[in-house]
């Protein structure tokens, strides 16, 4: 008996204590919202701290009262070994972007042609931070995921909880919490917090961060969330990615709801109807840019009508209903220390200006591409010259022009080397390009191929970055791509930057990728002209690597979007004896590219659908997913090829066209019946 008494759990907390904890959580969350989102605190910092400490004390004595939405969880959790990769609720696409007004006009024209009603646009500043997906279930933050490759990202929930402007629980005073909500936002560091933070790093003799964005991105990927908590991050929410248990028809409605749920949102959001209004907004934002305490790099223009967005759809990279109208890049002047040559994975020699480091819009730049020998000649840049450089977002900085210095004696004009700096093979000229023809023996090309093979959209091998690839080639541990699969952890442990754990992780990571999706494998081979989209289309069409390998040019061209130029490039690559052997070697190591899942064969498969008007029982995006899941396609315009036109409430001109073409027109009930026939229940 005595033993049992000793082991018995502490008595359950009293109901009064549980109530006190709940009230404290709610009060603290409210005051945190008032302070960080609305900037109008109602209590002093000391009073807040007193309430906070009381809640901490309760949770210490009765840990079962600790909940995920407790403000005490914002201080950070125990460090982790690694982040889990998590699939996004909805793919996080990128944005099509341009600095040109003409591109904006083309975008607007395209939308005007495709849509039944003239577009209305929601304008927002383009925030220059790190994008994040926040998922709420039953109103409570359950997950936060980095953008990653757009499909999957890293689960960084503990870190995101430390950001005071992220609601741990949605506010429900004005609007009930939906059952499930996924929100996209941008984690940012304010410029002032960034400067303070960098100052501290410099004082401690550590390398400062290049920009607030890099620092914010670094902070959300800290394994120890207590460090994240110290970086003074903010998070702006701007997009509802998914909502269950509520419906929005416009982005403006969704944006208002985000505010009511307690999110911090970008200011200066406007609804406009014309390109002129967008251009004026852009000019105002650019003029005010330097007065803001956070970095923006343009304006995001989004179609407000959410059903119309679904109609327009997306490419694999960006939605067709939005674009970023960016600011002109910031320019600075510096000096070229010398022009070096870099050799890429395709053997192209690129002249690179090594610069006296200079800050351009908060980022330190020390190299800039000069593209090719003709470009160097045209700009007449030589060692030691003064130059104007520019940086546009993530794009590699460029030398814009040389600045004349009449009184200074200049170096000799630049000449491309006669031999490859990496392998000494005599180089060849191909138009403006200079190429090292030593495809399989040049270490610089092999290094580039390794990095590409392991990159996110290819085999996605964690830990195979530039430096590791360079080491593997330099130490001759890898002489061709296939050698990657033979690596053993004990060959890596002693390399600089490696320890037992990282060596084992890399080797395991590589081995696991022997079962790789066909589209990733194809992309990873680095076939000229084959980007992510073409690789995916080839995989969907041919369904096996052997089928692609033996496809004639004609067969390749039967794939939508592949023309003679591409098919020739693909055949040439696959037929080159060196490539064929290198690929055989990879396959002999047990690499098995897996075909994409076959779409369900149903009455809908291969059928083209067009939607017009609003649906009652399901959103347009859900309808689209159901059709696509059953092998059908949703297209935006009506033609003789359309199989079904689904007309909801208040259909537009597509309906009239469908009548004129005598197409199959379904009302909502008819559409649901068709789905039901295909075994799809809309619950
Ligand atoms: S809307 C499907 N709105 O810009 C894309 N994005 O360059 C919908 N970004 O990765 C995004 N501010 O993270 C949107 N006000 C804003 C934004 C914004 C910044 C980011 C976004 C994206 C990047 C694309």
Q: Where are the domains of the chain?
A: 2-73, 97-326, 331-421, 443-594, 608-677
Give the chain's residues under pLDDT 50: 1-7, 394
CA–CA distances in Å: residue 423 to residues 84, 102, 349, 418: 40, 45, 12, 12
What is the structure's pLDDT at 11? 66
Could you check whether 443-594 and 608-677 share the same CATH topology?
no
Domain 2-73 has CATH 1.10.287.610: yes
Cα(327) to centroid(ligand 1), Å: 14
Q: Is 122 in the pocket of ligand 1 (CB under 6 A)?
A: no
Q: Is the CB of 37 under 6 A from ligand 1?
A: no
Res 104: pLDDT? 97
Query: How many whole angstroms from 221 Cα to the centroid of ligand 1?
Result: 19
Q: Would the CB of 285 count as within 6 Å of ligand 1? A: no
User: Are the beta carbons of 391 and 397 closer than 8 angstroms?
Assistant: yes
Ligand 1 atom nearest residue 129's Cα: 19
Give the CATH fold of the 331-421 domain: OB fold (Dihydrolipoamide Acetyltransferase, E2P) (2.40.50)
d(CA 480, CA 417): 26
User: Does 95 sit in the ligand 1 pocket, CB within 6 Å?
Assistant: yes
State the pLDDT at residue 396: 64
pLDDT at 7: 45
Any ligand 1 atom below 6 A from CB of 239: yes
C-alpha 179 – ligand 1 centre gap (Å): 25
C-beta 94 within 6 A of ligand 1: yes
Structure confidence at residue 394 (pLDDT): 45
Q: Which of 107, 127, 148, 314 to mutate to test the pocket of ligand 1 (most atoms within 8 A of CB)?
A: 127
Task: Tell me the CATH architecture of domain 97-326.
Answer: 2-Layer Sandwich (3.30)
The verdict on whether 126 is a catalytic residue reads yes
Q: How far away, in angstroms, is 95 Cα from ligand 1 center?
A: 6
Q: Which atom of ligand 1 is nearest to 147's Cα? A: 10
How many other β-carbons are positioned within 10 Å of the β-carbon of residue 491? 15
The answer to whether 481 and 582 are in contact (CB under 8 A) is yes
pLDDT at 533: 77
Q: Which of 131, 268, 301 to mutate to test the pocket of ligand 1 (most atoms within 8 A of CB)?
A: 131
Q: Ligand 1: which of 186, 265, 621 to mutate, judged by most atoms within 8 Å of the beta carbon?
A: 186
User: Out of 113, 126, 331, 447, which one is annotated catalytic?
Assistant: 126
The per-residue pLDDT for 548 is 97
Q: Note the pTM of the prediction, 2 decimals.
A: 0.60
- Position in ligand 1 atom list of the atom nearest CA 95: 24
How far does the chain reach from its first CA to its final CA, in angstroms? 54
CATH class of 608-677: alpha beta
Which residue's alpha carbon is nearest to atom 17 within ligand 1? Answer: 126
CB neighbour list of residue 372: distance below 8 Å, 6 or more residues apart: 350, 351, 432, 433, 434
Evaluate: CB of 506 within 6 angstroms of ligand 1: no
Residue 393 CA: which ligand 1 atom is closest?
Answer: 7
pLDDT of residue 176: 95
Q: How far apart are CA 515 and CA 309, in angstroms?
A: 36
Atom of ligand 1 nearest to the CA of 93: 2
Q: And the tokens for 647?
A: 């007309």
In 173-274, which residue ranges form alpha helices assigned H by DSSP?
191-203, 212-220, 225-229, 251-260
Query: What residue owns the CA closest to ligand 1's atom 22?
Result: 94
Residues 6+ apart with CB under 8 A from 556: 538, 548, 562, 566, 567, 570, 571
| Highest CATH level, class, for 443-594 | mainly alpha
């Amino acid at each position: 008996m005595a033993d049992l008494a000793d082991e018995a759990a502490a008595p359950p907390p009293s109901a009064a204590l549980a109530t006190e904890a709940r009230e404290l959580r709610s009060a603290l969350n409210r005051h945190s919202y008032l302070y960080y989102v609305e900037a109008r605190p109602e209590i002093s910092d000391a009073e807040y701290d007193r309430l906070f400490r009381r809640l901490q004390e309760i949770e210490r004595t009765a840990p079962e009262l600790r909940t995920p939405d407790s403000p005490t969880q914002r201080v950070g959790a125990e460090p982790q070994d690694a982040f889990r990769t998590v699939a996004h609720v909805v793919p996080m696409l990128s944005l099509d972007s341009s600095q040109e007004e003409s591109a904006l006009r083309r975008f607007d024209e395209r939308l005007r042609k495709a849509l039944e009603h003239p577009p209305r646009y929601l304008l927002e500043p383009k925030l220059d931070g790190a994008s994040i997906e926040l998922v709420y279930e039953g109103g409570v933050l359950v997950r936060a995921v980095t953008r990653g490759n757009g499909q999957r990202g890293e689960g960084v929930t503990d870190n995101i909880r430390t950001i005071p402007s992220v609601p741990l629980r949605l506010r429900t005073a004005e609007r009930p919490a939906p059952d499930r909500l996924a929100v996209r936002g941008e984690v940012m560091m304010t410029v002032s917090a960034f400067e303070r933070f960098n100052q501290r790093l410099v004082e401690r003799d550590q390398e400062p961060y290049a920009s607030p964005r890099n620092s914010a991105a670094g902070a959300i990927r800290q394994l120890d969330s207590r460090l994240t908590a110290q970086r003074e991050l903010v998070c702006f929410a701007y997009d509802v990615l998914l909502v269950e248990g509520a419906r929005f028809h416009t982005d403006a409605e969704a944006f208002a709801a985000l505010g009511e749920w307690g999110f911090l949102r970008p200011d200066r959001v406007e609804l406009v109807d014309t390109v002129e209004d967008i251009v004026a907004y852009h000019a105002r934002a650019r003029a005010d840019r330097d007065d803001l305490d956070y970095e923006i790099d343009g304006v995001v223009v989004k179609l407000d009508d959410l059903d119309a967005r679904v109609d327009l759809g997306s490419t694999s990279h960006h939605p067709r209903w939005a674009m970023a109208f960016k600011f002109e890049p910031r320019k600075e002047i510096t000096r070229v220390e010398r022009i070096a040559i870099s050799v890429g994975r395709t053997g192209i020699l690129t002249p690179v200006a090594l610069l006296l480091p200079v800050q351009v819009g908060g980022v330190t730049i020390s190299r800039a591409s000069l593209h090719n020998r003709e470009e160097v000649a045209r700009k007449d840049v030589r060692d030691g010259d003064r130059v104007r450089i520019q940086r546009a977002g993530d794009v590699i900085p460029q030398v814009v022009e040389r600045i004349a210095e009449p009184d200074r004696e200049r170096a000799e004009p630049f000449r491309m080397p006669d031999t490859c700096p990496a392998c000494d093979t005599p180089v060849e000229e191909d138009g403006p390009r200079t190429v090292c023809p030593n495809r399989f023996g040049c270490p610089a090309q092999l290094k580039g191929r390794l990095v590409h093979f392991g990159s996110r959209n290819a085999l996605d091998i964690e830990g195979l970055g530039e430096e590791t690839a360079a080491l593997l080639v330099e130490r001759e541990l890898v002489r061709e791509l296939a050698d990657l699969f033979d690596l053993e952890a004990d060959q890596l442990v002693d390399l600089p930057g490696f320890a037992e754990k990282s060596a084992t992780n890399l080797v395991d990571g590589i081995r696991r990728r022997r079962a790789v999706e066909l589209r990733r494998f194809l992309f990873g081979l680095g076939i000229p002209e084959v980007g992510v989209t073409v690789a995916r289309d080839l995989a969907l069409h041919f369904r096996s690597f052997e089928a692609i390998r033996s496809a004639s040019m004609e067969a390749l061209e039967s794939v939508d979007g592949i023309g003679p130029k591409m098919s020739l490039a693909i055949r040439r690559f696959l037929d080159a004896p060196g490539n064929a052997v290198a690929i055989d070697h990879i396959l002999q190591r047990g690499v098995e590219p897996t075909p994409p899942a076959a779409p369900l064969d149903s009455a809908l498969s291969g059928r083209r659908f067009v939607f017009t008007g609003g649906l009652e029982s399901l959103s347009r995006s859900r309808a689209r997913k159901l059709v696509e899941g059953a092998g059908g396609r949703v297209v935006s315009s009506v033609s003789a090829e359309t199989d079904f036109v689904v007309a909801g409430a208040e259909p537009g001109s597509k309906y009239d066209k469908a009548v004129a073409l005598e197409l199959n027109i379904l009302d909502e009930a008819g559409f649901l019946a068709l789905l039901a026939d295909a075994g799809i229940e809309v619950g």
